[in-house]
Chains A and B, each alone.
Chain A
Amino acid sequence: MASIELKNITKVFRDAKRKRDLLAIDDVSLSVEPNQFLCLLGSSGCGKSTLLNMIAGFEKPTGGSVTVGGKPVDGPGADRGMVFQQANLMPWLPVWENVAFHLRLKGWRKADRRAAAQEYIDMVGLRGFENHFPAELSGGMSQRVGIARALLLNPQVILMDEPFAALDAQTKMDMQEELVAIWQKQRCTIVFVTHSVDEALVLGTQVAVLTSRPGRVRELIDLDLPRPRDITSQQFNDHKRHILNLIREEGMQQRREAKAEVTAEASRQGAAA
């Protein structure tokens, strides 16, 4: 079974221009059981995409280990599907060829690829658009193609990097509902990066609230809200209030630290002068 294990992950970025190291992720441990829907929630720059890229295999942790289904991750691979912030479709291929792209890599015949793509094109509601090119699709439709592509790859793990961030509110809501339906049907494990508290609470079975600079897991919250999630319910709002408080505390602490740093810097410069 595909469970994801992040053990004591640290990531240090080397700032070559200023000749100093930047601690981006500090000792993050997370474990995602099969068929879970984990949302990584945090503000921009907290390292949530970096964590996701480590599971994907695009980045290597400075310390710690990442395993998927018990196997250490040492590069991108077809056992994990990824849906990006932009759909990243090949603009020269029609929708169905994009969905079945990895079958093209495997050398499948055209008719077989076409047939295999259809099921997932139907699943994401794109019937009738099979022969459109990406330039002819709206943002929401492109993202649906990206999801269908990840599904046809049939991985047990799907990684999603703010896939709905660029969509309008109505489309975003529809897509979230459909994603939950697909997840329930496919019984896959999803790690979903987002900066929206509402989105995390609508989608996840677990929400990991991350702090920023360095990124740490502030709190891992299990959600046992009934589906479909009612964003006006008491329970939903209790969770939301709790998370917003965490984020606010975090922000205040950061501002205090930033202020202290500025004062310290000023006094150093004062002493030097």
Chain B
Amino acid sequence: MRAIWKSWERAVVPLFILVAWEIVSRSGLLPAALLPPPTVVLHAWGDWVFGFDETSQGNSGRWLADALSSAMRVAAGYGIAAVSGILLGIAIGWWRWVERTVEPTIQMLRPVPPVSWIPLAIIWFGIADKPAIFLVFLGAFFPVLMNTIHGVKTADRNLIRAASMMGATEQQLLRHVVFPAALPSIFAGLRIGIGAAWMLTVTAEMVAVKSGLGYVLWDSYYFLRYDLVLASMASIGLLGYATDGLIKLLMSMALHWQHGSTLQSREG
């Protein structure tokens, strides 16, 4: 009985919301066109994915293509952000002179909302994948960078002492001690970054790109297709959840040594 409950645990809250939503929207409290019930959304979504009855009109059967083009933008921008954020973060955390020369500039750019770069991004990169990738990069870069710096700065000095006692060069210290010591922090940054990445790819698609889930969302809004708006939102949520799960999986493999020593490792 317990086991069955455990496997259904995570479905309880979403199910409750769906049922409540269906009831409210069928009760006539709001016009059905403004808040389509989940069944209607699901129907439109189904057609968007499989293209069975053209409910979603021009989008019928194009979901995979839309999801893929969004996902590719996230992957590209996030990948660049992760690699550059980790490398620059280690450099800033380790060398005082890099910190002094680079950090003030970074800290000044950081509070500028990535969305406010949209005009420049369109002028520089045109209407295509590039401005979206640029925005995703901006959104994911700073969390990864900040957390990497934090991870490097809080690395245990005694471990560095122990390693240099064994003849480690500076490069070896960075690779064999500082990087693994900073890894828990780096992963925290990567997880915050993936959320920002999805947020920004959708934003970019609303204004600067003519494909992807964000584009369908905005386009459906113009055509008063709130069922498709909701289906896009749900798609983005699901994909974001899936990519976060992927990073969590990666994290649990890379940080398996924490097993049994942290609160986090108690998670199933």
Interface on A for B, CB 8 Å cutoff? 56, 58, 75-78, 80-82, 84, 86, 88-94, 101-102, 104-105, 133, 135-136, 149, 153
Q: How would you classify the secondary structure of chain B's contact residues: helix, strand, loop or mixed?
A: helix
The chain A residue with its CB closest to the CB of B179 is A92
- A-B contacts, 7 of them at CB < 8 A, read A58-B161, A76-B161, A77-B165, A78-B165, A81-B165, A89-B162, A92-B180
Q: Establish whether residues A101 and B258, one from each chain, have CB atoms under 8 Å apart when the complex forms.
A: no
Q: How far is the CB of A159 from chain B (nearest CB, A)?
A: 9
Size of interface on B: residues with Cβ below 8 Å to A: 23
Q: Establish whether residues B166 and A102, one from each chain, have CB atoms under 8 Å apart when the complex forms.
A: yes
Instruction: Name the 9 nearest CB pairs between A and B, nearest first.
Output: A78-B167, A135-B261, A102-B166, A88-B162, A92-B257, A88-B158, A76-B164, A82-B165, A92-B180
The chain B residue with its CB closest to the CB of A134 is B257
Given contacts A86-B158, A101-B176, A135-B257, 9 further A-B contacts (CB under 8 A): A80-B165, A90-B159, A90-B163, A92-B180, A92-B255, A105-B163, A105-B168, A135-B259, A135-B261
Q: Establish whether residues B260 and A136, one from each chain, have CB atoms under 8 Å apart when the complex forms.
A: yes
Q: How far is the CA of A89 from the CA of B167 in the complex (A)?
A: 15
Q: Establish whether residues B183 and A88, one from each chain, have CB atoms under 8 Å apart when the complex forms.
A: no
Q: How far is the CB of B128 from chain A (nearest CB, A)?
A: 42
Chain A residues with Cβ under 8 A from B161's Cβ?
58, 76, 84, 88
Pick from B162, B164, B168, B180: contact of A84, CB under 8 Å: B162
The answer to whether A104 and B176 touch (CB under 8 A), given A84-B158, A93-B257, A135-B261, is yes
Most buried by B among A81, A89, A105, A149: A105
Pick from B164, B180, B255, B260: contact of A90, CB under 8 Å: B180
Q: How many pairs of A and B residues are in contact by the CB < 8 Å rule? A: 66
Chain A residues with Cβ under 8 A from B158's Cβ?
84, 86, 88
Q: Establish whether residues B259 and A133, one from each chain, have CB atoms under 8 Å apart when the complex forms.
A: yes
Q: How far is the CA of A79 from the CA of B161 in the complex (A)?
A: 15
Chain B residues with Cβ under 8 A from A58's Cβ?
161
Chain B residues with Cβ under 8 A from A86's Cβ?
158
The chain A residue with its CB closest to the CB of B180 is A92
Q: How far is the CB of B252 from chain A (nearest CB, A)?
A: 13
Chain B residues with Cβ under 8 A from A90's Cβ?
159, 163, 176-177, 180
The chain B residue with its CB closest to the CB of A91 is B257
Q: Establish whether residues A77 and B167, one from each chain, have CB atoms under 8 Å apart when the complex forms.
A: yes
Chain B residues with Cβ under 8 A from A75's Cβ?
164
Q: How far is the CA of A7 from the CA of B199 in the complex (A)?
A: 65
B172 at the interface (CB under 8 A from A): yes
Q: Establish whether residues B180 and A56, one from each chain, have CB atoms under 8 Å apart when the complex forms.
A: no
